[in-house]
Each structure stands twice: as structure tokens, then as C-alpha cells.
Amino acid sequence: MQPVLEWQAGTVTAIRPETKQTKSFTFALPKWMAHRPGQHYDVRLTAPDGYRTERSYSIASPPERVGELDLTVELIPDGEVSPYLHDVLMLGDQLELRGPIGGYFVWDVAIGGPLLLVGGGSGVVPLMAMLRHRAAQHATLPARLLCSSRTADDVIYRDELDGLARGDPAFEVFYTFTREPPAGWTGYRRRIDGAMLGEVIKPFGKRARVYVCGPTLLVEAVANALVQMELPIEQIRTERFGPTGA
């Protein structure tokens, strides 16, 4: 039996810029409930005349952070909700939220590894919740993150990811830059393809549990390549956003 999800008023207790285009918002929730990493919350905005709109945002924080949660939101310049969150919402404001939502694109240490996370752009957000949970649990199961961004400035959580990788021999992070690699960069500098994925997944082989989140074109390319490598499809979980690009 699933719990009924009720709207509740979350209070903004922190706002943190992550990149030029993304900010993380911390909400204190009166009826906080532990989520599973990978799940999202719905946000509802109401205008004075009763007009309402809703959006879904991935949870970035781990369930170990009791009583509050972080949502990381990318600014869509011509959007309706993200510009409000980025430019209007202030500390102390209240916002209607409900969740946690989604029961398939979820991972916790009980599911186990080896864990391969593949993120494009802000698709790294739900993957970060998984990595923060893994770290909070002091799990030693092997994990790798392959993170695709346009430029170095677009990488969300870069310092934290590098810190996690430095402090944990079982976790490695790989970056690829599709538009402009940083000066002196010797790593990947192209869209994720089968060859890149083959290199990153190599130590895990067909045992890898893979979570892919990002724009549709990236998710399609990655999921198709994994199927070609004969990874069992039940080990491949995807979350997509954005248009087809067609």
C-alpha cells in the first residue's frame, strides 16, 4: 500500500548557486518522509487569483538528511516555474511540495552494485542523491559516475564529486565535455558513445546496475549501447527530460 501524498508547505532554509544555470534549494518539511535516492518532489505554485501550475524536481539530498531536502533546479530562461524559483523565491518563503514520488528510478545500498551512474547536464541531480546516500552509509560497493557537460562551468557538484572520489577508492568520477573542455584537459571531449561507455563500465562488466538520466538523445544513446553490450535490460533504468531533438 502506497502512502497518500499530501501537499505540505516547505520553508526555504538555504539557497545555493551550483552553476550559472542551476541552484539548490533546501526546504524544511513539517511532514518529512524518507525518500529513496532517485525520487522527485512535485512543486505547486499558486497565484493570487487561484491560478496554479506544477512541476517535478529531482531530490538531490540523501534520505539521511532528516527533516529537510534539497532540490536542484536548472533555470529554463523562458520557463514558468524555474525563473520564479531562481529569481523570486527567498529564504523564509514557503512553497507547496509533495512527494517523494517515483518507484523505479531509485537506488539504495540494499540494491547493491557495482553501480554505474551516467548523467547529462542536470541529469546528475538524482544520481547525486544516490552517491550522497552511498557515502552517508559508508558503503564500499564499487561505483562510477560518467558525467557529460557542455563546459567545465556547467558541471554541477564538481567539488563535491571530486572530493568524494579522492576520499573513496571504490568511487571514481569521469567527465566528458561536449562543447569546450577546460584548458589542458586530457580526458573525454565528446558526447557519450559506446566506446566511452565500454571503457567506464569495463571493471563492472555485465553485473553493472546502471542509472541513466539526462536529455533524451543522451539517454537513448547510452541505453542502446548498453543493450548492445548485452547488459540485462532490467539492470538499466532511465529517466529522461526534454524533447526528442527531432
CB of 206 to other proteins, least distance (A): 14
d(CA 95, CA 12) in angstroms, rounded, equals 8
Stretch that binds other proteins, among 60-68, 97-105, 146-154, 198-206 (CB under 8 A): 97-105
CB of 117 to other proteins, least distance (A): 15
Residue 194 touches other proteins, criterion: CB under 8 A: no
**Residues 210, 237: contact at Cβ < 8 Å?**
yes
d(CA 70, CA 58) in angstroms, rounded, equals 9
- The number of angstroms, rounded, from the C-alpha of 10 to the middle of its chain's C-alpha atoms is 20
Residue 240 touches other proteins, criterion: CB under 8 A: yes
> Hey, which residues between 206 and 225 contact other proteins (CB under 8 A)?
216, 220, 223-224
Across the beta sheet with 68-74, the strand order is: 52-58, 40-46, 94-101, 8-17, 22-28, 68-74
CB of 2 to other proteins, least distance (A): 4
CA-nearest of 34, 227, 231, 204 to 112 is 204
DSSP codes, 214-230: EEHHHHHHHHHHHHHTT
Residues in contact with other proteins, shown as a per-residue x/- string from 129 to 168 under the rule CB under 8 A: ----------------------------------------
Question: Which of residues 11, 56, 137, 151 is near other proteins by CB under 8 A?
Answer: 56
Question: Which of residues 29, 45, 141, 229 is near other proteins by CB under 8 A?
Answer: 45
Residue 2 touches other proteins, criterion: CB under 8 A: yes
User: Considering CB under 8 A, how many residues would be counted as binding other proteins?
Assistant: 50
In whole angstroms, how far apart are CA 59 and each of 36, 40, 51, 225? 9, 5, 25, 27
Q: Which residues bind other proteins (CB under 8 A)?
A: 2-9, 42, 44-48, 51-56, 80, 84, 88, 93-96, 101-105, 216, 220, 223-224, 226-227, 233-234, 236-244, 246
